[in-house]
Structure 1
């Protein structure tokens, strides 16, 4: 018995040493063009959340650093508890059918739970017009964030297995199952209702389908048809102005987007005060912590309208620097995907880029009045634990892919 226990301990120590050596080797090949922008964005996010939330907290009798500290804790938990494992684990884990399917089923179950919550409790469970969060006490978990990453991994797994099969006459038969799964996920999200989240899931699927080997002409036809359909529905709803939608929170947001000043008291206040904040900031801003709009004028300025406060305090130049850093991060993730030797690796990178891009696009577009307000937050900058954890997992997974691609390339060169 003692001999067996001794042999077991020695074996585990050897395996631990082997795994530790593999992780150290990965760190040696770390892609700093992705890691450093990620760190900078997270640090800036903590500072800006503290600045944007401090006055509101003081007015309500709380410590001004409460949300800033929470955001820092979310960032640390995301990095150490989730990010490191996503970087250290072998890529085969994320390609494993059981892992992918369990992850997908868990996200679908959480979304279904929200639908059940909406049916049972109705509007009393809604926050800002939507039932989108599960209260776990220490954090309000947003299943949509988990669903985004689970959809990326699921589509990457399925489309990788169909690589080379998406040829004329076999496209629909090979895409029907992933398209159906995406539709189910979108249906669960839109019931909350969360139109911004539904749109993000749709764009993720569209991009990943388009880069999976589908003929370019077909992908372009899809895109044109979708754009026409979206605009047609948009103008139909606006001009029809149906009575059953007039009391809807989401419909009021849409009308406020079109007529913010006329409907300032009925939902347009956020956009109007966003304009004021950007105007007040000018090119160089009024200084960090000196925003006027965050003092009760702009509701929840530390969430989806944090960029407005940033523009007021750091100026348009400061806001552009943050947006530029986001696009620099996306560009480098795309670079990893473009040069990936595996279809799965490439699709994951394109999917992660799509998440960050669509969230950034919807958030920036809402802040400057080019898109309807959907409640989509700015990646890494806006306050939120679920978003921080999932985005960190995305970045860690891309870094894992980048590192493995570099190691594989070096090994191939050595053999050659």
Structure 2
């Protein structure tokens, strides 16, 4: 076996350093207001980053032919059980926060099972599509083939949507499913049907919820007022105040930025500046130059993951690496478009940079499995 992809290793290490830096710089207002201490967020970030980095390195040393399926099934089964059980757990373990159960609390820590479930689903699809999606002659035959996937995954997505109120995660998983099916050999017509179905479900989910509909109208009013002479819809954009401040922060950063630690909009204007709006915080403090470097690093990271997918001999490894690269791409793109008001904000984290232990650990485990696979790829 050859060595792991060192470029991916280096880029992830750089992201972890940046994540730690901005976990220290950005949430200063929140730490002051809640009397959490100057190093509260950065200390927790470093804890999860250290554990995750160790897992990533450990996984990268393993033989994928022996361990890939074992680890993949372990992640899938464990996370599936947790997602199913969350609605039935007592509030002391699965607290209701802002009307949703998204975390399981253990002592001073809480984690989100759906972050690991996404990796488990990518593994399952890579394992299953390798065996099922081949020599399909008609659209009818392919729809018949993917129907069980849609039913089973749809059940999980319903739980995530109904009890965790997390439309963003469902959208990302549905898109990953569609792209992986296409790469596995599915027909483009089936791909367009899945995308069309996803759009229909999105419209249904928004229109059937007064809260989501009000937020969608607020986003449409804000977005159109920013990019068109007149708003498309006359609605209050008060519920999208965070996005307004995000745009102000990006504008305030200019080309060179205000300097690390000198951001203004993190001081009570952007309450989620270290999580959902971390790109806006980075843009204010490091400017267009800083955020451009972040974008370039993400592009190189995804390119290297896709290269591993393309050069792997086993189709199962190809699909898994492609799925991980697609997941990272979609989350970064959706977050970037959301904080600039181009699409509705979906509460998706920026891989490696946003504060959040579950997301960080899940992404580092996924990268560890990709590095494991990279030893078998002809790079």
- TM bracket (short chain): 0.7 to 0.9
Using the TM superposition, give the Cα deviation of residue 103 of structure 1 relative to its aligned residue in structure 2, in angstroms: 3.3
Q: SS of the residue aligned with 2:101? A: coil
Contact 1:87 1:396 in 2 (8 A): yes
Using the TM superposition, give the Cα deviation of residue 338 of structure 1 relative to its aligned residue in structure 2, in angstroms: 0.9
Q: Which structure 2 residues correspond to residues 13-412 of structure 1 after superposition, within 5 A?
A: 29-80=3-54, 82-96=55-69, 100-117=72-89, 125-162=95-132, 164-168=134-138, 170-191=141-162, 192-214=164-186, 218-219=187-188, 221-228=189-196, 245-246=209-210, 248=211, 250-260=212-222, 263-265=236-238, 267-406=239-378
Contact 2:274 2:355 in 1 (8 A): yes
Q: SS of the residue aligned with 1:259? A: helix
* Larger helix proportion of the pair: 1
Q: Deviations over 1:129-172 (max 9, x none)?
A: 43211111242110110111000111111111225343436424
Residues 1:99 and 1:237: Cα distance change in structure 2 (over 3 Å): closer
Q: SS of the residue aligned with 1:140? A: strand
Q: SS of the residue aligned with 1:405? A: coil
Larger Rg: 1
| 2: CA distance, partners of 1:228 / 1:205 | 13
RMSD over equivalenced CA pairs, Å: 2.5
Using the TM superposition, give the Cα deviation of residue 58 of structure 1 relative to its aligned residue in structure 2, in angstroms: 2.0
Contact 1:132 1:142 in 2 (8 A): yes
Residues 1:44 and 1:365: Cα distance change in structure 2 (over 3 Å): same
Gaps of 5+ in 1: 1-24, 410-416
Q: Deviations over 1:75-99 (max 9, x none)?
A: 001111x223322232134554x76
Using the TM superposition, give the Cα deviation of residue 251 of structure 1 relative to its aligned residue in structure 2, in angstroms: 3.6
Using the TM superposition, give the Cα deviation of residue 252 of structure 1 relative to its aligned residue in structure 2, in angstroms: 3.6
Residues 1:136 and 1:251: Cα distance change in structure 2 (over 3 Å): farther
Q: SS of the residue aligned with 1:47? A: helix
| 2: CA distance, partners of 1:236 / 1:185 | 17
| 2: CA distance, partners of 1:173 / 1:225 | 13
Contact 2:312 2:376 in 1 (8 A): no
| 2: CA distance, partners of 1:163 / 1:235 | 29
Using the TM superposition, give the Cα deviation of residue 68 of structure 1 relative to its aligned residue in structure 2, in angstroms: 0.9
**TM, length-normalised to structure 2:** 0.88
Gaps of 5+ in 2: 226-234
Q: SS of the residue aligned with 2:18? A: helix
Contact 1:277 1:312 in 2 (8 A): yes
Contact 2:84 2:159 in 1 (8 A): yes
Using the TM superposition, give the Cα deviation of residue 32 of structure 1 relative to its aligned residue in structure 2, in angstroms: 1.5
Residues 1:127 and 1:259: Cα distance change in structure 2 (over 3 Å): farther
Who is 1:4 aligned against?
Answer: none
Q: Deviations over 1:95-115 (max 9, x none)?
A: 54x764453232122112222
**TM, length-normalised to structure 1:** 0.81
Using the TM superposition, give the Cα deviation of residue 207 of structure 1 relative to its aligned residue in structure 2, in angstroms: 1.1
Q: SS of the residue aligned with 2:88? A: helix
